[in-house]
């Protein structure tokens, strides 16, 4: 896709829809963080997605992966199914959830799926990162694979950058979280990432996430050189 994805968080579905309508004209596309809603239901997901006029990623981020959703595996399953039924262009499904609930594999549509892994504490070893990719491939070789890890050192950033470069173009999103990792967020698209995430309202949804308008300016300057 080669576009920057702006992450939208909101407390209510009306607030999320209002934010969408306010930003759609000058943003590439969006990640809708449904886990930030105070009352997340399949119906709320349907209402928000039906109101959009541009492409979106529907995400229900669990607390284990750094989000707000604290429900059961069955509740996660029902919400994931609602995301697919809503006809969002892409649906984020966590690798940890897939490993816990085999029924999730029966509902995912590979060409619309982003299988994600998040580690807010550290960047695993190269061997462990490869094992994570193997698990993702076992779940679906057609899905987009997202790995986001906290970069404690610049060496972590280098390792994650090398990992991005080694992936098939447009089939992965490798993120180095934290301020050190902002360089990979900026370079990701040029290295073949499916997208790079930014904050829609200058309130980062993840460590090191940049403001969309700032990120767009920098990447545009980089592309013009």
Two tokens, residue 60: 């229900």
Angle, helices 73-85 vs 42-50, to 10°: value is 20
Q: Counting beta carbons within 10 angstroms of the beta carbon of residue 176, is it exposed (0 to 12), middle (13 to 18) or buried (19 or more)?
A: buried
Catalytic annotation, residues: 118, 146
| 33, 12 contact by CB (below 8 A) | no
Please classify residue 55 by burial: count the beta carbons closer than 10 Å to its beta carbon, then call 0-12 exposed, 13-18 middle and 19+ buried. middle
Question: In the numeric block, which tokens belong to residue 68?
Answer: 């707000």
Number of H helices, E strands in the chain: 9, 8
């Amino acid at each position: 896709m080669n576009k920057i994805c702006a992450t939208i968080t909101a407390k209510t579905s009306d607030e999320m829809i209002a934010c969408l309508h306010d930003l759609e004209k000058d943003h590439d596309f969006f990640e809708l963080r449904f886990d930030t809603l105070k009352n997340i239901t399949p119906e709320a997901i349907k209402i928000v997605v039906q109101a959009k006029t541009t492409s979106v990623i529907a995400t229900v981020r669990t607390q284990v992966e750094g989000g707000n959703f604290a429900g059961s595996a069955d509740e996660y399953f029902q919400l994931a199914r609602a995301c697919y039924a809503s006809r969002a262009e892409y649906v984020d499904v966590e690798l940890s959830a897939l490993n816990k609930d085999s029924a999730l594999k029966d509902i995912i549509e590979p060409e619309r799926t982003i299988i994600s892994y998040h580690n807010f504490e550290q960047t695993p070893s190269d061997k462990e990162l490869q094992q994570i990719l193997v698990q993702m491939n076992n779940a679906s070789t057609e899905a987009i694979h997202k790995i986001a890890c906290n970069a404690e050192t610049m060496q972590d950033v280098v390792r994650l950058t090398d990992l991005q470069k080694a992936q098939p173009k447009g089939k992965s999103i490798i993120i180095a979280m934290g301020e050190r990792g902002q360089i990979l967020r900026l370079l990701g698209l040029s290295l073949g990432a499916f997208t790079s995430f930014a904050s829609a309202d200058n309130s980062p949804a993840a460590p090191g996430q940049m403001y969309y308008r700032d990120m767009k300016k920098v990447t545009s300057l980089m592309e013009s050189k």
